[in-house]
Structure formats: C-alpha cells, structure tokens
Amino acid sequence: MATIVKMPKLGLTMTEGLITKWIKKEGEQVEKGEPLFEVQTDKVNLEEEAPASGILRKVLCDEGETVPILKPVAIIAEADEELPELENDEGPEEKNDDVNDENYMEDKSVEKTSYIDTVKINKDNVSIGKFGKIKASPAAKRIAKENKVDLYQITGTGENARITAQDVKNYIDKTLKNDNLRISPTAKKIAAEKGISLEDIKLSPGKRVMKSHLMEQIKNNLKSDDEVIEEFPLTGMRKIIADKMKNSVNEAPHFYLTAEVDMTSTISFRKKLNLVIKNDEDKISFNDLLIKVVAKALQNHRIINSRIYENKIQLLKQINIGLAVALDNGLIVPVIKDADKKSLAEIAKESKQLINKARNNKLTPDEISGGTFTISNLGMYDIINFTAIINQPESAILAVGKIQDRPIVTSEKQIEIRPMMNITLSSDHRIIDGAEGAKFLRTVKDILENPLKLLL
C-alpha cells in the first residue's frame, strides 16, 4: 500500500518546515525508520524518518521549499503500485475552537514571542518511539487527554523514556507558568493597563485567558497581596481544626435553637455547694454544673447522644461530655467520660485536671477522644449568644453565653431583674429534628432552673 509522507508537526507551535535536503532520492529503496529528508523548523534542524518501507516513488517538494505541516511531501510505495491521486491539500491549519475571528492573528503574535521558553522539540525527544508513536503510561495519557496536553511536547523520565503521570503534571505546571498562554485582545489590554502578571492566572493548558479571568485576578489581588501582614502555613492543630470544622459544616446540615435560662437557682445552688466544700481547688464551676446538667438531660434524650456510623444512626451507651478549651494557638476538647455516672465533685476534679493538661499541652489521645456531646462556653468573653460548629462525629453541641442581669417578665407578670443565660444548641439535622432538639434544650433549661432535679 502506498504511504504518503507528510511534513511532520514537530512542535506545538510549528506551522511549516523547510526541506533542506532529501537524503533518499526518487526511485531509491527505503526502509522504515531510515532517514528520508532533513527538515528545518524555526527551532531545530532534524532528520525525518521514513514512515514505511518501499520505493521512494515520488518527491513532491524540492529542497529549499517551505512546506506547511501535514502537507504531503513524498510517496513511498511498491515498485509497480499505482500511485494515489493527491488532492491539492494545503495541509490543515491548526484548528482552534475558541479562536475564530480576526483576534486570532493577534493571539498568534503573542505565541511567537514566547518561543524561547517552550520545550525544545526535536527527534532527540527520546519518548517518541517507533513509527513516531509516543511512549507514555496509561495514566499519563489519561491526564494529558483530560488537560488537552500534547504528549509530543514532553520528554519522559520513566523507564525507557516513558512519559509518566508526573511528567505530564510537571509539564502542565510549567506551561501554566510560562507565558505560552493565549489571551484575548481585551484581556491583554487590561493586563497591560493594570499591570497584572499573566503567570498568576491559573488555567488549564489550551484555554485562552479572557477578560473574566483577569477581573477575577484583580479581585483576588485586592484581597491578598496588599493586605497581608504575615503568612503562616496551615499546619498542625490549625490544620486539624480547619479540616474538622470544614467537614462538619459540609457534611452535617446544622440548625440552631436558642433558649434563655433563668440562672437564679443554679447560682444559689452552686454557692451553697461551694460553702460546704473546704478546699478552694475542689470548688465547683459553672462549667462543671453545665456538664452535669447536660449529662443528666442526655439520659432522657438519647437521640442527642448519637452519631452516624456507616449509614446508620447509633444511639450511644456512654455519655462523654467534651468541654471546648481555648488555647493560645487553637482549641482543644478534653472529654469527661461517663459524666452522667460521676458526681459533681468528681466532674469538678476531673475537669480541672483536664483543663490544666490542655493548657500545658499534656492531654493524652484518650483524654480528647470518645466524646459524645460538646459544651462550648464563651461567657467569660461577655458573649451573650453564639452558634457553635458540631464536633463530629457527635451530633450536637451546646454554645453557652454569659450570665447577665436582664429585666424579665416573671410568671406573675412582674418585671424583675434576673441573672439570665442564653444557650444555643447546634444539631445535625440528619439525625435530630427541631422538636427533639427543642425538647432536649427544654430539659436542660428545666434542670438549670430547678437544679435540685440533679438529685432525682
């Protein structure tokens, strides 16, 4: 069968090549892979190999002729074979979907000025194997296809010069960084006016830079560069908090319920308790009381003490209350295990130890895991109300505000000043419905307003 030899496309930017020499003459026998002719591009000079074996029956372009890529230059066929008719094929222009107007010309000029930085393309590219086929791993081919990357531009670093996935990724990174990107005229103008570096614009290769990309970039520049005082990496505890909070918000549909609690009784209850406690160190804090009250309330609302595990809702046997503790560089939640089974004195002692350990970075993994419900109290910062993000895998968290004297209307329709405290429950709506959350919150409020119920 006759084989038509065409002007090869030896690089992304090559549009034509100069035939400097025919190594084989018309009528000569050629073997596939033998050098056939020399071609010079704007970058390199190289020998083009015969794509098939046979007789070089016809040379269509003479030495010294400049030929567009993919245009036939010769025919190799058997000695007695009839030669195919050649259409007057000028060779296809490089087609480009998003470039079809006069602006294209302008774009081309942008490309031309950027030749220097592009990868040198020539037959020394050892990743081009027999028959001009590319040697690339399946993964490399997939990534190249997804990103519309021409594998012929890449020299592989794998075994036998195979192009690996990493090679393609590196190439994509590189082409994004160098200015071998296409840009619409308007975008180009804006970039020049506003002094925007095109390097900063992240696009997949092959895409044109449009006005919208630049506007986006301008917006980002305003946000970041001018206003940053200091940068530090998102690592360690910060990273853990970032990931956990992001996952929680993404995964759990949060809803919030707020109740106002009259703390009169709890305050006097605590006062009386602390009167009988001799050691200052053993005194009971509001947080200790809250832990106890919440644990008690959870006993009657098991659905709040739950988690989602492998598509199932699990109501948990243990009631382990976490207490959010602020640190200089973050936040940690030590856990009081079996808080419902512990006395207030035990809770007070344990929470003091845990908070101390937390501040000294001494908590063990066991002491910060296994929580089933979390309390976060920002009252000491004069916060009245806030909404907390659920500490997954738990299904709810209680945000506690400051105890504050407020005028309220009592059940006897009198205005009185009472110490009030707002508590806000964040619940995971996948597990907990509004009414269930509300009932739990009402129980918490009820116990706080009648703390003797703790004894029941």
Partner 1 sequence: MAVITYIQALRDGIREEMHRDERVFIMGEDVGLYGGAFKVTKGLLEEFGEERVRDTPISEAAIAGAAVGSALTGMRPVAEIMFSDFMTIAMDQIVNQAAKIRYMFGGKAKVPMVLRAPQGSGTGAAAQHSQTLVALFTHIPGLKVVMPSTPYDVKGLIKAAIRDDNPVIFMEHKLLYHTKGEVPEEEYIVPLGKADVKREGEDITIIAGSIMVPRALEAAEKLERKGIEVEVIDPRSLVPFDTETIIESVIKTGRVIIAEDDCKNAGWGAEVAAKIVESEAFDYLDAPIKRLAGLDTPIPYNPNLERAVVPQVEDIVKAVEEMLG
Q: Which residues are near partner 1 by CB under 8 A?
A: 137-142, 157-159, 162, 164-166
Q: How far is the CB of 205 from partner 1 (least distance, A)?
A: 19
Side-chain half-sphere of 189: how many Cα atoms within 13 Å?
Answer: 6
Closer of 136 and 397 to partner 1 (Cβ): 136
User: Catalytic residue among 213, 254, 301, 429, which?
Assistant: 429
| Token pair for 386 | 């806030």
What's the min distance (Å) between Cβ of 157 and partner 1?
7
CB of 174 to partner 1, least distance (A): 19
Distance CA 313, CA 307 (A): 6
Q: For residue 422, how many C-alpha atoms fall within 13 Å in the half-sphere facing its CB?
A: 13
Instruction: Say how far apart CA 24 and CA 427 lie, in whole Å.
Output: 81
Q: What's the CA dihedral at 203, 207, 211, 213 to 10 degrees?
A: -20
Nearer to partner 1, 168 or 390 (CB): 168
**CA nearest neighbour of 217 among 191, 193, 178:** 191
- 195 Rama class: left (phi>0) / alpha (psi -120 to 50) / beta: left
Q: Are 2 and 83 in contact (CB under 8 A)?
A: yes
Q: Residue 143 or residue 432: which is nearer to partner 1 going by CB? A: 143
Q: Which is nearer to partner 1, 162 or 359 (CB)?
A: 162
E strands along 60-137, which residues?
66-68, 72-77
Q: For the beta carbon of residue 430, count every other beta carbon within 10 angstroms.
A: 11
Give the nearest distance from C-beta 250 to partner 1 in angstroms.
22
When the beta carbons of 156 and 334 are compared against partner 1, the nearer one is 156
Burial label, 103 (beta-carbon count in 10 A; 0-12, 13-18, 19+): middle
Q: Residue 166 or residue 178: which is nearer to partner 1 going by CB?
A: 166
Minimum separation from the CB atom of position 364 to partner 1 (A) = 22
Instruction: Confirm whether 429 is a catalytic residue.
Output: yes
C-alpha dist (Å) from residue 64 to 17, 35, 121, 406 = 10, 17, 21, 96
Element containing residue 323 per DSSP (H, E): strand 321-323
Is the distance from CB of 218 to CB of 196 less than 8 angstroms? Answer: yes
Measured in whole angstroms, the distance separating CA 15 from the mean position of its chain's CA atoms is 38
For partner 1, the closer of residues 15 and 166 by Cβ is 166
Strands 415-428 and 254-262: antiparallel
Give me the long-range contacts of 236-239 (CB less than 8 A, separation at least 24). Answer: 237/327, 237/329, 237/330, 237/331, 237/332, 238/329, 238/330
Residue 387 contacts residue 256 (beta carbons within 8 Å): yes
CA torsion sign for 41, 47, 50, 55 is positive
Q: How far is the CB of 165 from partner 1 (least distance, A)?
A: 5
The side-by-side arrangement of strands in the sheet containing 29-30 is 3-6, 72-77, 54-59, 29-30
DSSP E strand stretches across 205-277? 208-209, 254-262
- Which C-beta is closer to partner 1: that of 138 or that of 407? 138
Cis peptide before 8 (omega within 30 of 0): no
Q: Which is nearer to partner 1, 166 or 285 (CB)?
A: 166
The catalytic site residues sit at 429
